[in-house]
Amino acid sequence: MKASDNIVNANINSANVIDAGFLILAMLVINIMWNFLIWHEILTWLRLAGASLTLASGLFVLYRAPR
């Protein structure tokens, strides 16, 4: 396997990182919506802190992803 093959594979796999960041954000928003609509639960500060941590880590992954 040549070095150029590794670069090609890295570029193909970097798209998955970007997709994962958007997927995390979409799942977070949808789960908050369903939680409110089905069980009428409002976010507590602890759940909001966990959601913020998840969102921040997803944004960090998007920031660090190769362009």
pLDDT for 55 equals 84
pLDDT at res. 38: 95
Asked if residue 7 lies in contact with residue 47, where contact means CB atoms within 8 angstroms, the answer is no
What pLDDT was estimated at residue 49?
95
Question: Tens digits of per-residue pLDDT, 22-64?
Answer: 787 888 889 889 999 999 998 899 999 998 998 888 788 778 7
Q: Rounding to the nearest 10 degrees, give the CA dihedral for residues 29, 35, 41, 44.
A: -40
Check: pTM over 0.75? Answer yes or no: no
Which has more pLDDT, 43 or 6?
A: 43
Q: With cut-offs at 50, 70 and 90, classify the pLDDT of residue 17.
A: low
